[in-house]
Amino acid sequence: MYKEYSIIICSGTSCQKGVPGELTEIARQVLLKHGLDQKTKISLSGCLGMCSKGPVMIINPGYTIYGKVDAGNIGKIIENHIVHKKEVTEHVIHEDHLFNRFYSIFGDMDFFGKQMRIALRNCGIIDPDDIDDYLSVRGYEALARVLTDYTPAQVIEQVKLSGLRGRGGAGFPTGIKWELTAREKEPVKYVICNADEGDPGAFMDRSAVEGDPHTIIEGMIIGGYAVGAKNGIVYIRAEYPLAIKRLERAIASARKEGLLGDNILDTQFCFDIEIRLGAGAFVCGEETALIQSIEGFRGMPRPRPPYPSVKGLFGKPTLINNVETWANIPVIILDGAEWFSSIGTEKSKGTKVFALAGSIKNTGLIEVPMGTTLREIIFDVGGGIPEGRKFKAVQTGGPSGGCLVESDLDTRIDYESLAAAGSMMGSGGMIVLDEGACMVNIARYFLEFAQNESCGKCTPCREGTKRMLEILTRITEGNGMDGDIEKLERLGRMIQKASLCGLGQSAPNPVLSTIAKFRSEYEEHVIDRKCRAAVCTRMLTYEINGKCVGCTACVKVCPTRAVSGVKMNVHVIDQSKCIKCGACYEVCKFKAISKQ
């Protein structure tokens, strides 16, 4: 039945705080009250990317986006917009009609204005649990075209001509990886989707699977056809329950429609997909460790060669790409390799998805053409630094990447440019830091993550990162020694050269890049015993000044009874008892406690 109106409510993980099921029920009741329930389609979508504005709701026709929707205002918004034909302007984010069937351009709005959505083209605008929604945006048309018009070699040639590079971090040419797998004569081959993203602050793959699982499935089927595989596996961490649920439903729907299983679309081609859950080990993002995990062993990397394309899962040729890479495949087939390769830079084609987080106004999921500068992403798409604070650095590439500073802001987002600037693309995490960040503590945080996640197989990574973390911890606690900075540099270079896998080789990057860009901060910590950002709490001194009114609030919260004094008189802090917890500072309403 034709529906006059449609309401799309975001149910991505970041919007789950809005309880989409509750919002949907309120919307139904409002429509029922006005007799519009039969004229309106209500559906849940994945992430549109505007996490800082969520929960998000879209009303059609007109494509009006409402933000900060909750149980208290959704009824008012729907009643005014649909019944009285009036927008509730205080909640409107944007209205636009410019949609391409492959990617979306959102007019001149800052957040969307410089984006180009290819991998995320359907996220936030279709119901991921409804295969008909996916079919309505030309879903599985690329698969049908491939099975009727292309030989496997022609599919691979299209992927090679597109210039698509693996979006999992290393940037290896996708078409060449497919070609190497296709060359192998083994009758049994495997296709794997790596959905095991584990970088702090990264949620690109999770959101893509939650918002458009059929795109991943379609890409994998095309990949299976191209390399001669009949078996596909999505390896996804168990910590993503919503993504898993939607992927399971999508696979079941595709099987029901004859798009998975035997004789797909009445052809001779057979291909099916199963899901394997990971336990959340960061190292399993590395492809050989991932294979070990699927096989039932502890996830630990193995030396290469042989590469998975020759000897992978169960010793058979295996094609592994990550979620974002697979999501680009149907578009390349439908729109053509030439069109895709016209986007981006000479060596980095297409777009890149980033999880924009940290000290930034517009946190969320973005997708920009390769070649977009850091400045454009942070200050145009991201809206700049909130509350008038100053930009200090941006960490790209997650715990394997590096920090870039203000002089690097005109660096273009592509594999070569980021590497030349001292960082890396990685899988797409981007954390913005303002002047209140301590770069020594930031480096310690990322190194602690890498050390905790080390699989322990090789000594350089297992022991080297532990020694580096001990030194960094000592420095941030005010016990740094002369020569510590140089030790960190020597250890870091050794780990980079001697570690077995890419994760170990890149573990020291945050430390080495922050030393290179912010050496003076390290020297202040070691020599002056000072943290200019007042973040390293063990180095701080709390003192009570003349503003104290003797309210005794600080006395009540001090866990070591370091604060003393008579009520209504100025109190004092016994520095020998103070453990630098900051509880007194947090509770004081009169700004009578200073820290330095």
DSSP 80: I
- Work out the percent of the chain whose per-residue pLDDT is above 90: 67
Contact 101, 331 (CB under 8 A): no
Residue 85 and residue 221: Cα distance in Å, rounded? Answer: 44
pLDDT, residue 99, reads 37
Say whether pLDDT at 110 is over 80.
no
pLDDT, residue 96, reads 42
Decide which of 265 and 10 is more confident: 265
pLDDT, residue 43, reads 87
Confidence of residue 372 (pLDDT cuts 50, 70, 90): very high
Decide which of 113 and 186 is more confident: 186
Instruction: Give the position of tokens 């990447």.
Output: 401
Most confident residue range from 18-27, 103-112, 213-222, 544-553:
213-222
Say whether pLDDT at 572 is over 80.
yes
Say whether pLDDT at 102 is over 60.
no
Sheet (strand 40-45) strand order: 40-45, 5-10, 57-60, 64-66, 92-95
Q: What is the mean pLDDT of residues 35-50?
A: 87
Q: What is the mean pLDDT of residues 434-460?
A: 92
CA–centroid distance for 108 within its chain: 25
Contact 435, 446 (CB under 8 A): no
Q: Provide the token pair at 14.
A: 């970041």
Residues 6+ apart with CB under 8 A from 252: none
Please name the helix (run of DSSP H) or strand (run of DSSP E) that holds residue 64, with its range, or none: strand 64-66
pLDDT, residue 60, reads 85
Residue 258 and residue 256: Cα distance in Å, rounded? Answer: 6
Neighbours of 87 (CB within 10 A): 16
Q: Provide the token pair at 299.
A: 């996830």
Residue 474 and residue 486: Cα distance in Å, rounded? Answer: 14
Q: What is the mean pLDDT of residues 93-110?
A: 43
Q: Where are the alpha helices (DSSP H) in 336-438?
A: 337-341, 374-375, 415-421
Residue 140 and residue 151: Cα distance in Å, rounded? Answer: 17
Q: What is the mean pLDDT of residues 337-350?
A: 95
Say whether pLDDT at 95 is over 50.
no
Q: What is the mean pLDDT of residues 272-285?
A: 92
Say whether pLDDT at 18 is over 70.
no
pLDDT, residue 547, reads 93
Contact 54, 365 (CB under 8 A): no
Which contacts (CB < 8 Å, 24+ apart) does range 545-553 have?
A: 545/592, 545/593, 545/594, 546/570, 546/592, 547/590, 547/591, 547/592, 548/590, 548/592, 548/593, 549/590, 549/592, 551/589, 551/590, 553/587, 553/588, 553/589
Confidence of residue 50 (pLDDT cuts 50, 70, 90): confident
Q: Where are the alpha helices (DSSP H) in 413-534?
A: 415-421, 439-453, 459-476, 484-498, 502-506, 509-517, 519-523
Say whether pLDDT at 107 is over 70.
no
Say whether pLDDT at 197 is over 70.
yes
Triad 365, 67, 69: Cα angle to 5°: 120
pLDDT, residue 200, reads 77
Say whether pLDDT at 414 is over 70.
yes
pLDDT, residue 52, reads 80
Ranges 32-36, 292-296, 336-340: which has the least confidence: 32-36
Say whether pLDDT at 150 is over 60.
yes
Say whether pLDDT at 137 is over 70.
yes
pLDDT, residue 345, reads 94
Q: Which amino acid is at 125?
A: I
Contact 583, 539 (CB under 8 A): no
Most confident residue range from 35-49, 394-408, 426-440, 510-524:
510-524
Q: How far is CA 305 from CA 121, 342, 454, 501, 551, in A?
A: 36, 33, 21, 12, 69
> Mean pLDDT for the chain?
90
Say whether pLDDT at 428 is over 50.
yes
- Domains of the chain, with CATH numbers? 5-95 (3.40.30.10), 131-339 (3.40.50.11540), 351-434 (3.10.20.600), 439-528 (1.20.1440.230), 540-595 (3.30.70.20)
Q: Provide the token pair at 436.
A: 């209140």
